Structure 1
Amino acid sequence: MSAVIVEEGPDKGAIWHFGEPNQEQRALAAGTAWADLSHRAVITVTGEDRLQWLHDLTTQHVSGLIAGVWTSALVLDAQGHVEHQLFLVDDGTTTWIHTEIDKSAELVSYLEKMRFMLRVEVKDVSADYSVLRAPGIPDSIGGPYAIVPKNELEEMKSAFASVHTQVGTWALEAERIAAGRARLLFDTDYKSIPNELGFLNNAVHMNKGCYRGQE
């Protein structure tokens, strides 16, 4: 069966399923599945101060984030409500973030306002890079993920498809819900706080310094 596309909501335009969602879920659980998440926004942060800056702005301990290790983080408002959910990795020179496309402009605007005199630069690079859910057993943040240049995307997708099963967001969402991982815009509203969504000790680090909304 050909791909069925998501017609509305945060995943609009993504592949929902290929007609066999149960088989897709089994492949995902077995670590033999991949998915095209090109509908998600990709943001980069560069500059010498990037990790400490993100550490100070988010709920996650990222000041010493090891290159190549993915993690998740939240940005809270002053009252502690969840405003943004970030999935990020650093490659040694750039921090790569993927997030909900409907919230990306707001996130970039907030980060730009918080630069002050720090050596950081923020860019929305969604036009040039895509997110893939790479093959592998699901990890604690829903990965493994890969961020791929658009001009290499089809080659990477073909490589994945040659040995693995492509799945849609239906399978990904089923795995996420079963694992108890909350998702911005799906499980949250403007009043949601991390404590009620299972974010503590995951996207929220319990032993880091202060950040907006902590109290």
Structure 2
Amino acid sequence: MSLLNRPGAVAAAGPDTGVAAHYGNPVTEQRALERGIGVVDLSHLGVVTVTGPDRLTWLNTLSSQVIDLAPGAGTELLLLDPNGRIQHAAAVTDDGQTAWLVTETGHAQALADFLDSMRFMLRVEVAVREDAAVLGTTTDGPDLSSLAETPLTHDGSALTWSDPWPATSPGSTRYGPAEEEHPGSQWHPRLHLVGRDQVEQIVASAEGAGARLAGAWAWEALRVAAWRPRLAREVDERTIPHELDWLRTAVHLNKGCYRGQETIARVFNLGRPPRRLVMLHLDGSEHVLPEVGDAVSLGERAVGRVTSVVRHHELGPVALAVIKRSVDPTVELTAGPIAAAQEVIVSPEGQGTGRPEQAPATGLRRRTL
């Protein structure tokens, strides 16, 4: 809470409660992040650790992604229900003794409880780390973990996770454009895990070296512009990864069995996801914006819901929404009371242009059909 005492700080709400939405100038803060000098307080995010010699092989059996990490490497994982719906999502990095998972505010305990329920006789220990906090920068920004006086790791190494989005990971596929055509190719965030009691000192050190403090609104604006899905926003009780183009970075289609795998393979091989993520360019002449959760309508018919709304310093007012796959991508929609033009993120044709040159699900096809 200490950075909320900074002059000009305005508290964020919703899933970002606990940190600042901005510090008086969200547009300038967005630009600072794009220039690589922004630092964002993300200390509201949850941190879970898994220790023990079986930690990586165990996480690998549970999750949608291959978890075979060298010390310092990172990836992201999804934990699915038996029907392939997303239950948990986490950034994960390993320091050689401990796997560190970063998830949404309020999800850490539920994630830890689920993992604990799946331990059985394996040599792993799961803990919610209240002593750990998260700070955000972009790739060109300062390495905040190295500024910590007392690192969290056993060997003093820095804990930094680099977002793989929107690269199509080995064994994965995409439902949208190739990386070089994707707006997310300009979005390279990093998460730095540091001691919660050191956040003020680390941010002050970064500012002394020329960094600028930015709020959650700036972080969210760049995330939305990059079409990057977020557990606390784009996911509901029915969401499967295909709908959000989340197979890119969080699902390996050729790995062994895990919960929800049958749905992943079936939708990839035989069908198209029932819904699709879309960006909405909102009518900027209005003084109001739609709210998260507002209906997206085609005429009088509701066809989806708004999941994220931001004001971007270049794009203007934009939103992410999850809508029915069958909606014509050329028609104008209404988001709440606001007219909105679509920009396709997930192709209505399913794999379509997103299919890789070599289909990665061949190994699953014989087992699941």
Answer whether TM exceeds 0.5 for this pair: yes
Other-structure match for 1:131? 134
1:208 to 243, 251, 255: 255
Corresponding residue pairs, total: 212
The answer for unaligned runs of 5 or more in structure 2 is 1-6, 141-161, 166-187, 263-369
2:36–2:137 contact (8 Å) kept in structure 1: no
Which structure 2 residues correspond to residues 25-64 of structure 1 after superposition, within 5 A? 25-62=30-67, 64=68
Q: CA deviation at 1:206?
A: 2.6
Distance in 1, Cα, partners of 2:189 & 2:105: 18
Identity of aligned residues (%): 43
Which structure 2 residues correspond to residues 49-128 of structure 1 after superposition, within 5 A? 49-62=54-67, 64-126=68-130, 128=131
Q: CA deviation at 1:181?
A: 1.0
Aligned partner of 2:60: which letter? H
TM-score, structure 2 length as denominator?
0.55
The answer for unaligned runs of 5 or more in structure 1 is none
1:180–1:198 contact (8 Å) kept in structure 2: no
Distance in 1, Cα, partners of 2:221 & 2:9: 18
Q: Tell me the SS of whatever aligns to 1:107.
A: helix
1:2 paired to 2:26? no
1:135–1:160 contact (8 Å) kept in structure 2: no
Other-structure match for 2:201? 155
2:225 to 178, 189, 192: 178
The one of the two structures with greater contact order (alpha-carbon pairs below 8 A, sep at least 6) is 1
2:33–2:137 contact (8 Å) kept in structure 1: no
Distance in 2, Cα, partners of 1:25 & 1:118: 45
Bigger radius of gyration: 2
Q: Tell me the SS of whatever aligns to 2:78.
A: strand
Residues 1-54 of structure 1: per-residue CA shift (max 9 Å, x gap): 611111x31111211011211111111112111111111111110000001111
1:140 paired to 2:164? yes
TM-score, structure 1 length as denominator?
0.93
Aligned partner of 1:154: which letter? E
Distance in 1, Cα, partners of 2:194 & 2:239: 32
1:199 paired to 2:203? no
Aligned partner of 1:132: which letter? L
Deviation beyond 6 Å, 4+ runs, structure 1: none
Residues 59-115 of structure 1: per-residue CA shift (max 9 Å, x gap): 1111x2121122211111111001111011100000111111222221111100000
Q: Tell me the SS of whatever aligns to 2:204.
A: helix
Distance in 1, Cα, partners of 2:197 & 2:15: 24
Aligned partner of 2:9: which letter? A
Aligned partner of 1:180: which letter? W
Other-structure match for 1:12? 17
Aligned partner of 2:11: which letter? I
Q: CA deviation at 1:139?
A: 4.2
Q: 1:139 to 1:86 in 2, by over 3 A?
A: closer
Residues 159-212 of structure 1: per-residue CA shift (max 9 Å, x gap): 122221111111111111111110012011100000001111211123322211
Q: CA deviation at 1:145?
A: 1.2
